[in-house]
Amino acid sequence: MSVSELRQSDALPVLRDVADLRRTVADWRTQGLRVGLVPTMGALHAGHLSLVRTALERADRVIATIFVNPTQFGPGEDFSTYPRQEAEDAARLAEVGCRAVYAPDAESMYPAGFATRVTVEGVSKGLCGDHRPGHFEGVATVVTKLLLRALPDMAVFGEKDYQQLQVIRRLVTDLDIPVEIVGGATVRAEDGLALSSRNAYLTEAERTIAPALFRVLSETAATLATGAPAAPQLADARARLTAAGFAIVEYLDLRDPETLAPLPALPSTGVGRLLAAVRLGSTRLIDNVPVIRSGPGAQPTDRGV
Ligand SMILES: Nc1ncnc2c1ncn2[C@@H]1O[C@H](COP(=O)(O)OP(=O)(O)OP(=O)(O)O)[C@@H](O)[C@H]1O
Ligand SMILES: CC(C)(CO)[C@@H](O)C(=O)[O-]
Ligand code: BAL
């Protein structure tokens, strides 16, 4: 790695240029090492670090990317206030065995004249796609660029952003990008709240309400797992979220775990995914849980969950 071209953080190299990134990955490949990528927007927490650990179980070298991608934020969203703490992030990544950070600037990612957008039909529609127009096009475009820039053997994305994970699986398949996509389990606080960089926006009072999201999802999933019709259970769950203090329930829905098509009840495959997005003050929270057939005749399965 040519250190003269890098800004050396206290902890590990922070690569800015695609040429440095490619050289680093090519050097590792030449040594016969398998390379993993963990894309992030920074402000790292234990959820991100668990993705690095997951990558290290399947790869010899791991690079994390830190890029607050402007094209996936809508007008009025939190692009300008999104937490940025690169030096701290680099130190935490080094501690868990990450070997480099790729943190390009927006001008290099989207130079003058940039005109291409990656649109993933189907899985991008509905759920967050309805409430954040253009969001998944921004995610799909930047993830395509990150994968093609780094050319890793595998990349890890969190199940916390479940729809995003399915969008990325679809685009990698459809565009023949030769990378294995691995989903990382959601890391939670002790009270069940999914860790998220945006949790930092919650006030003390809101933080006490927030765990109700996972609680209601888990309890509803347990009922749906028996094969109960979804509509009344989902209506009840939405009402419980409102009663718990969430100002807006954007969605709470039972979906196929791969296509994200709506399900009227748990299908014969015995697996579904229950996903929700809520607003608490100025903070938008998302979460999801698997729904797996329970009760007499239930078969163990690992499909899509
Ligand atoms: N609690 C978590 N457990 C596991 N993975 C997570 C968790 N939170 C985020 N991730 C994953 O980390 C990667 C980077 O996500 P990102 O940097 O947007 O973090 P975030 O905490 O989800 O931030 P935000 O609050 O903006 O949604 C994504 O693949 C995301 O799914
Ligand atoms: C995948 C990602 C890094 C693309 O900007 C982002 O959406 C995120 O952090 O989940
Ligand atoms: N964690 C997904 C990135 C976003 O909300 O923009």
Give the Cα separation of 135 and 142 in Å (integer).
11
Averaged over 297-302, what is the pLDDT? 56
Give the Cα separation of 40 and 293 in Å (integer).
33
pLDDT tens digits, 203-212: 999 999 999 9
Question: Annotated catalytic sites, by residue?
Answer: 48
Taking 90 as the threshold, does the pLDDT of residue 11 lie above it? no
Q: Ligand 1 within 6 A of 158 CB?
A: yes
pLDDT tens digits, 254-264: 999 999 999 99
Question: Domain 3-184, CATH 3.40.50.620 — does that match?
Answer: yes
Helix (H) or strand (E) holding 254: strand 248-255
> Residue holding tokens 């920074």?
42
Q: Where in the chain is the domain with CATH 3.30.1300.10?
A: 197-292
In this predicted complex, what is the ipTM? 0.98
Question: Pick from 104, 118, 106, 110: which is nearest to 63 by CA?
Answer: 104
What percentage of residues in the chain have a pLDDT greater than 70?
Answer: 93
Q: Whose CA is nearest to atom 15 of ligand 1?
A: 40
Give the Cα separation of 117 and 139 in Å (integer).
10
Q: Where in the chain is the domain with CATH 3.40.50.620?
A: 3-184
Q: Whose CA is nearest to atom 2 of ligand 2?
A: 40
Q: Which fold has domain 197-292?
A: Pantoate--beta-alanine Ligase; Chain: A,domain 2 (3.30.1300)
Residues with CB under 6 A from ligand 2: 39-41, 69, 72, 139, 142-143, 161, 164
Averaged over 64-85, what is the pLDDT? 97
